[in-house]
Amino acid sequence: MSAPLPPRLTLCLLLAAPAFALAQSSPGDDDATLPSVLVSASKAGRSVMQTPASVNVLGGDAIEQAHLETLGEVAQQLPNVYLTNFTRSTPSLTIRGLGFSDDESDSTSTSVMLDGVPIYSMVLGQLFDLEQLEVLRGPQSTLYGQSSMGGVVALRSRDPGRILGGNAQLDIGSGQRRRASLAMDVPLGEKSAVRIAAGGESADGFIDNPRLGRSDTGGWDSAFARIKLLHRDDAGGTWRLGLHHANMRGGNDYFAAAPDAREHRSQAGDAGTNNVKYTLLSGEYARALAGNTRLAVTAGASQSEWNYWLPRSTFQARTGYDMKNVQWSLEARLSGGEGRLDWLAGVFGAHITRDSPYDFDSMPYYLSGTTAGVKGSSAAAFGELGWKLAPAWRLAGALRLQHDRRKLDWSSRQAGLFDSDGDGMPDTPFDATTVVNDAKARDTVALPRLTLEFTPDGAQFGWLTVARGYKASGFNLYATAPDAAGTAYRPEYGNHVELGYRLRGERRAWELAATVYHTRLRDQQVTVTDTNGQSRIDNAGRSHSQGLELTGLLRPAPTLTLNAFAAIAHAEYDEYRKGAVDYAGQQFANTPRHSVGAGLQWQPAPQWELGATVTRQGKSNLYPASTTVNPAYTMSNAHLDYHAGKWTLGVYGNNLADARYFTRALANNIVVASAPRTWGVRARRAF
């Protein structure tokens, strides 16, 4: 049974009350012509105000100023968005409690898109040269299909400018961090331009290893680059072509027992390897057609690789993998409207090839070597029909029909010594290889959504959404037995209802938003650890995620913006027993029950700009089979920038209170520590 929601709801309302009172009593003096920010992930070109979903949009400049360089660091600043990660370059997001098992699963709970093209989020690494980053919470399966039960993260790179110019930036910070980047716009004529962005970073990390006499444990070197072409043709169409690449190389010797991890120490006997890289090609075409109809086509492909090898001392064995992913996708859609009706129709296709081996080598005693090759494809048709019932009311029905297929080829070699005479000493060799070929999993699903919108005026917007979410079936790629590998786990479904309301004051001096949601899950895909210590995907019987998000923004003066949020995520198993363990009533892993935050942006003089945020995350459990509890912690970040002509000089600090917490735990309670207090200075020159 779930705990009652009202006490937590009352707490969050009390936390948000000061912001609400300020907003009502201080209308502010802001410019009424503030530009509207469009949400590309909604596929409708709507502003944040008019998007019927709980959404956050962060501008690229704000991300850079706040020194948020990974998805994990962004997650710390948003309501009901959390992270679990092995390293700063491989974050796995948890939205409203969904996503903690993504690194083990054949699919993900959150779709991550770069310029409209899906990318395997675990290799995304550093963020750079973005126009904006959007996070939509709640199932988005009607628009995005099988990998969006938790939500969608959409990244948009900066478009090329029409004037020759750019900027160069140099950052130097704690942990011997050094980062240099360059971006430049090059016009190619009246209708074309190209933008080139590139850079690199190196750092020593933040963990000491007295065993190896090193203070650079967890360090990294990275390089990133992007070239993007923008062209407007004679027919009024807009072309965007992009080539994106990032490569991050580092060690893997930061796992430690909790006492050492809290002090940022490691006793690993060697460095290990943790390298991630990707190359992504994106293409977009948009054009207005006759009859108030618009065409949008998005196509792309990506190739990614993750080389992950633990130090041999962690398990007294060589353990890890070299995983490769190749995927491509194509989507085309038409939209239009006339009178009281509007509509959208589209088709989608995708293909993915994944090579997922895993080795555990402690020979001569034991060797487990598996290879798993997965080929998957998706095909879908989707559409939406909207009807304006009355001047303030719109009813929209949407449906997606999707077919997903997976095919697995798998083999496993198990070798070593076993105790044949019972004296406790392994003495007899064994060596066996098993194979599974052409195992198949297929899902054909209908994903409906019904939304009722209320827009009494330009300063208010409310919505009620009922939708179905879905996460495809798949295979346990790292299983060591043929029955476990060849038997697909079931698809995950969620019935979702969400009620939200936004309002803002005169001249946009204040803004408030509230969202209440409930998602009832069936056959939720969760990570469990078996008696041999192996983790794999299992299906929980029934579970749910419910809660709320409150956000507020106040502009008491043109130069000052205050914001705050409060959130609850009550995500529990209802019917799930594995062996002797009954998980009913247990909160999902990596899901704080509550989070709150506040921030400010202040420009006391034209040359100066100050930003600061404070967030509080409630306690949570790490990893499903771990008893490690992450205590509640508070994060505080700040930055100060000075502008002088074409120069910008800045200083920043993250985790200023030096909060100690963990970001991951293994089955034997070995954990990964969070980053400590970090600081840096930067210089930027425009040209």
**CA atoms lying within 13 Å on the CB side of residue 49:** 19
The residues, ordered by sequence, that sit 6+ positions from 649 with a Cβ below 8 Å of its Cβ are 641, 642, 681, 682, 683, 684
Burial of 159-186, coded b for 16+ CB within 10 Å and e otherwise, reads: bbbeeeebbebebebbbebbbebbbbbe
Report the alpha-carbon distance of residue 273 to residue 617 in Å, rounded: 31
**CA atoms lying within 13 Å on the CB side of residue 265:** 11
Report the alpha-carbon distance of residue 627 to residue 632 in Å, rounded: 16
- 424 CA to centre of own chain: 47
Q: How many residues does the chain have?
A: 687
Sign of the CA dihedral with 204 first, then 308, 147, and 662 last: negative
**CA atoms lying within 13 Å on the CB side of residue 501:** 5
The candidate with the shortest Cα–Cα distance to 159, out of 246, 71, 241, 45, is 241
CB 283 within 8 A of CB 129: no
Sign of the CA dihedral with 22 first, then 23, 29, and 31 last: positive
Residues of the chain with pLDDT under 50: 1-32
- Check residue 161 and report its DSSP letter: P
Contacts by residues 555-558 (CB-CB < 8 Å, ≥ 24 positions apart) = 555/28, 555/29, 555/30, 555/508, 555/509, 555/510, 556/22, 556/26, 556/28, 556/509, 557/28, 557/29, 558/29, 558/30, 558/31
CB 276 within 8 A of CB 302: no
Burial of 252-286, coded b for 16+ CB within 10 Å and e otherwise, reads: bbbbbeeebbeebbbbbebbbbbbbbbebbbbbbe
Locate 51 and state its tokens. Answer: 């998007």
pTM > 0.85: yes or no: yes
H or E segment and range at residue 577: strand 577-578
